[in-house]
């Protein structure tokens, strides 16, 4: 053939560009919920509860919550975009029916969604981090530099969960069930709101969730006090979870978009 | 080996797609050479869209061999799709974007550089009389404009093969004629078209060959004229149903009669037969016409007998 055949990464990047072009059209509406949630939580729980909670390992409750707010943004942005967002693109807007007639294939669609999720959450994690910094909630200000990387990595297993949900639900209302029975538990029991150390059962079960490990990494970046082994353990779990869930999601979406 | 200069554009042998026990497409053969325009006709669920899916790699065939530009879509879809333009049944345009933004995205998908894309989009929008809509949001366009825009999208990467899946369904006659003219223009440049349609008139106008599918199997193929001459030669008189009783005694064994909605149709070898028949029963036919592709279609898909899907 005469033309150069484009590489998978180039085509996956096309999917990122497409999502960005559509996203920026409605930028404020798209970005505000995922940023408003952590802001509200910080006000309601951080400021509201702080006087009652006292200190946790020498931190005010607002300081304790701070890294979790980055995690919250990543969780909701990743899950909602790859569940409701992807599902609408797939089912109601038929975006892929046209896209898959171009050199883009299903693999590139899925890879593009992961890249898009990682880039978007990295930026959002950075923005939330800067706000926390201004509010004086980061004992280690350099944490701001680590947030985008941790956020981007954490988004991959979470986007994979959203994509799997998109492939498995029979209608759009079933995402609510996924939210209630999967996303809400991994959120509330992740160590964002209270230290898991005092609750061995919850702590053990929470280890299954990649989100817990992302929260831990964000807390370590914010507070320090961690051994290299601990950091490598959480990073390792996130990388493995990204690969396993990512490949699983790719397979299910592939079955969904091809016959 | 892929070879764009070769004359065979599509070569399908025994292509079969099963979903469990159900055969969506069975033993499908097709040879499409450079410059051909072939039409796929058939009721909904006959296997037309399954075939189109097989061609661009979103449906994986269960059996048979399939080559487009000498490449197998199961393994080389990306290279095939570089030279393929598809107008899918649904427009699938990004409703919130402008015409220009939407086309720039697809130009990028097709591997065009930014500069080439600009020129190409401007040319094609002008070609489809949409240049004044460049800055309009997709959702403000009429149905006909959206359809024209999906043609622009399909032509962006200058494809060798254009696949049209029910290209003019739901469009007004003016837009339909415009799109037909564009398909002819595309063919004049020596390139190849595969079209599915429910409009027999469209198939007759666009295609030099027709393949009629029913329940996944080919039930007829040939040039439109040839098919009509072979399957339903002669002329058709359309009479009101009330005349049926009066008509029957006058019908010759070589003629055919079949119901069509509220009407009864009589097909005879010569126009004079129908004129004589009119006089004999004292009833004017609602319509006297040469047999057409629709008659062939209805006969071959069994719908002539009033069977339903």
Residue B304: pLDDT band with limits 50, 70, 90: low
Query: How far B190 CA sits from the closest chain A CA (Å)?
Result: 17
Is A228 in CB contact (< 8 Å) with chain B? Answer: no
* A99 vs B85, B109, B157: nearest CB: B109
Q: Looking at beta carbons, which residues of chain A come within 8 Å of B111?
A: 3-4, 6, 103
Q: Looking at beta carbons, which residues of chain A come within 8 Å of B117?
A: none
Q: Looking at beta carbons, which residues of chain A come within 8 Å of B56?
A: 100-101
Domain-by-domain residue ranges, chain A? 8-257
Predicted local confidence at residue B5, as pLDDT:
64
- Is residue B306 pLDDT above 60, yes or no? no
CA nearest to B215, candidates B63, B12, B25, B50: B25
Predicted local confidence at residue B308, as pLDDT:
43
Q: Do B56 and A101 count as a contact with CB atoms less than 8 A apart? A: yes
Query: How far A119 CA sits from the closest chain B CA (Å)?
Result: 19
Q: Do B111 and A95 count as a contact with CB atoms less than 8 A apart? A: no
- Chain-wide mean pLDDT for chain B? 90
- d(CA B123, CA B131) in angstroms, rounded, equals 9
Local mean pLDDT, 10-residue blocks, chain A (259 residues): 79 95 90 84 87 87 94 95 94 93 95 97 94 92 96 98 96 94 95 91 93 97 92 97 97 93
Is A26 in CB contact (< 8 Å) with chain B? Answer: yes
Residue B41: pLDDT band with limits 50, 70, 90: very high
Q: Do A259 and B84 count as a contact with CB atoms less than 8 A apart? A: no
Number of residues that make up chain A: 259
Shortest CA distance from B155: residue in chain A: A102
Q: Do B90 and A94 count as a contact with CB atoms less than 8 A apart? A: yes
* A22 vs B88, B96, B163: nearest CB: B96
Q: Do B93 and A22 count as a contact with CB atoms less than 8 A apart? A: no
Shortest CA distance from B5: residue in chain A: A1
Q: What percent of chain B has pLDDT over 70?
A: 96
Give the CA count within 13 Å in the CB-facing half-sphere of B22.
7
- d(CA A22, CA A24) in angstroms, rounded, equals 6
* Model confidence pLDDT, tens digit, residues B51-77: 999 999 999 999 999 999 999 999 999
Q: Do A103 and B111 count as a contact with CB atoms less than 8 A apart? A: yes
Q: Do B78 and A95 count as a contact with CB atoms less than 8 A apart? A: no
Q: What are phi and psi of B8, to 5 degrees?
A: -80, 120
ipTM: 0.88
Residues of B with CB under 8 A from a CB of A: 2, 4, 17, 19, 50, 53, 56-60, 69, 77-79, 81-86, 88, 90-97, 101, 105-106, 108-111, 150, 153-154, 157, 163
Residue B261: pLDDT band with limits 50, 70, 90: confident
* Model confidence pLDDT, tens digit, residues B84-105: 999 999 999 999 999 999 999 9
The structural domains of chain B, ordered by start, are 8-227 (3.40.50.300), 234-290 (3.30.70)
């Amino acid at each position: 053939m005469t033309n150069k055949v484009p590489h998978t990464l180039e085509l996956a990047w096309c999917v990122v560009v497409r999502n960005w072009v559509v996203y920026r059209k409605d930028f404020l509406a798209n970005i505000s919920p995922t940023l408003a949630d952590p802001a509200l939580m910080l006000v309601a729980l951080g400021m509201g509860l702080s006087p009652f909670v006292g200190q946790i390992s020498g931190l005010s409750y607002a300081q304790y919550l701070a890294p979790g707010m980055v995690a919250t943004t990543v969780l909701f942005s990743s899950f909602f975009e790859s569940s409701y967002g992807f599902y609408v693109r797939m089912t109601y807007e038929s975006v892929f029916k046209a896209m898959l007639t171009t050199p883009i294939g299903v693999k590139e669609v899925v890879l593009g969604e992961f890249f898009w999720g990682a880039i978007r959450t990295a930026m959002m994690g950075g923005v939330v981090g800067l706000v926390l910094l201004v509010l004086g909630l980061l004992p280690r200000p350099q944490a701001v530099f680590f947030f985008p990387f941790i956020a981007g990595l954490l988004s991959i297993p979470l986007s994979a969960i959203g994509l799997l949900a998109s492939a498995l639900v029979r209608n759009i209302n079933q995402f609510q069930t996924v939210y209630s029975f999967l996303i809400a538990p991994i959120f509330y029991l992740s160590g964002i709101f209270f230290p898991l150390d005092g609750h061995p059962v919850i702590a053990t079960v929470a280890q299954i969730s990649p989100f817990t490990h992302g929260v831990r990494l964000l807390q370590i970046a914010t507070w320090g006090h961690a051994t290299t082994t601990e950091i490598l353990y959480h990073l390792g779990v996130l990388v493995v979870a990204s690969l396993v869930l990512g490949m699983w999601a790719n397979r299910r979406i592939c079955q969904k978009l091809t016959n | 080996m892929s070879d764009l200069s070769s004359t065979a554009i599509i070569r399908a042998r025994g292509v079969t797609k099963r979903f469990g026990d159900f055969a969506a497409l069975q033993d499908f053969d097709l040879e499409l050479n450079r410059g051909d325009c072939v039409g796929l006709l058939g009721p909904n669920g006959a296997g037309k869209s399954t075939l189109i899916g097989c061609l661009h790699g979103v449906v994986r065939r269960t059996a048979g061999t399939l080559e487009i530009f000498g490449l197998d879509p199961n393994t080389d879809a990306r290279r095939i799709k570089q030279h393929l333009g598809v107008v899918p049944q649904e427009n699938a345009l990004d409703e919130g974007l402008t015409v220009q933004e939407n086309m720039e995205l697809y130009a990028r998908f097709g591997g065009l550089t930014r500069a080439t894309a600009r020129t190409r989009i401007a040319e094609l929008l002008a070609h489809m009389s949409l240049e004044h809509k460049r800055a309009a949001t997709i959702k403000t366009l009429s149905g006909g404009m959206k359809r024209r825009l999906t043609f622009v999208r399909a032509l962006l990467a200058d494809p060798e093969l254009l696949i049209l899946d029910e290209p003019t369904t739901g469009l007004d006659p003016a837009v339909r004629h415009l799109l037909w003219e564009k398909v002819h223009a595309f063919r004049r440049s020596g390139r190849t078209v595969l079209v599915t349609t429910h409009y027999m008139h469209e198939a007759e106008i666009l295609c030099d060959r027709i393949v009629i599918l029913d329940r996944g199997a080919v039930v007829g193929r040939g040039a439109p004229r040839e098919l009509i001459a072979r399957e339903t030669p002669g002329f058709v008189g359309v009479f009101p149903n009330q005349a049926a009783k009066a008509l029957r005694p006058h019908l010759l064994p070589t003629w055919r009669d079949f119901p069509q909605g509220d009407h009864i149709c009589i097909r005879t070898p010569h126009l004079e037969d129908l004129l004589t028949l009119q006089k004999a029963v004292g009833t004017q036919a609602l319509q006297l016409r040469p047999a057409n592709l629709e008659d062939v279609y209805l006969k071959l898909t069994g719908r002539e007998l009033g069977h339903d899907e």
